[in-house]
């Protein structure tokens, strides 16, 4: 059964801190040999994370590819939105307000409380969704 990890970020952190935290977490997963997919809310978010994964550290970058491209099959980190997702990935990082229909195809789903009150309200709804369906939930206080 898919495990759900909710990362509870500080309420005063803002978008920049939230997004950098996600990049650091994805980097740790990648270095640990896990295949990760960031499921973005829309193409603008996907483009922003595509750029951020290359630049969030001065001394390194996270190699990644867009889901559905030829490069995605070999990439350990992929990005997508809508129904785009890679064929074989272990960890889904959900960045959209709703629970993706395909979430249960992953070993682990990572959710965050988000950078603002609207995102936190949506996170509470997702938490209830998973809890009501009996998925194992883990809270990670950041």
Domains of the chain by start residue, with CATH: 3-141 (3.40.50.10110)
Cβ atoms of 23 and 52 closer than 8 Å = yes
**H-helix segments, the chain:** 14-31, 43-55, 117-132
pLDDT score for 88: 77
pLDDT tens by residue, the chain, 142 residues: 999 999 999 888 889 999 999 999 999 999 999 999 999 999 999 999 999 999 998 887 889 999 989 999 899 999 999 987 777 789 999 999 999 999 999 999 999 998 899 999 999 999 999 999 999 999 999 8
pLDDT score for 13: 83
pTM exceeds cut of 0.85: yes
Which residues fall within 8 angstroms of residue 39, CB to CB, at 6 or more apart? 80, 81, 85, 92, 93, 94, 95, 96, 100
Cβ atoms of 139 and 3 closer than 8 Å = no
**CA 40 centroid distance within chain:** 8
Nearest by Cα to 23 from 90, 112, 98, 106 = 112
pLDDT score for 59: 84
């Amino acid at each position: 059964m898919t495990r759900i990890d909710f990362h509870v970020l500080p309420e005063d952190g803002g978008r920049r801190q939230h997004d950098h935290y996600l990049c650091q977490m994805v980097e740790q997963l990648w270095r640990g040999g896990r295949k990760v997919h960031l499921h973005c809310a829309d193409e603008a978010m996907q483009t922003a994370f595509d750029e951020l994964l290359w630049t969030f550290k001065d001394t390194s970058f996270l190699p990644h590819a867009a889901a559905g491209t030829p490069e995605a099959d070999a990439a350990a980190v992929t990005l997508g939105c809508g129904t785009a997702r890679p064929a074989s990935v272990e960890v889904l990082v959900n960045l959209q307000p709703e629970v993706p229909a395909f979430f249960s195809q992953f070993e682990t789903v990572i959710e965050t409380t988000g950078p603002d009150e609207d995102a936190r309200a949506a996170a509470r709804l997702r938490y209830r969704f998973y809890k009501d369906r009996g998925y194992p939930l883990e809270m990670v206080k950041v």
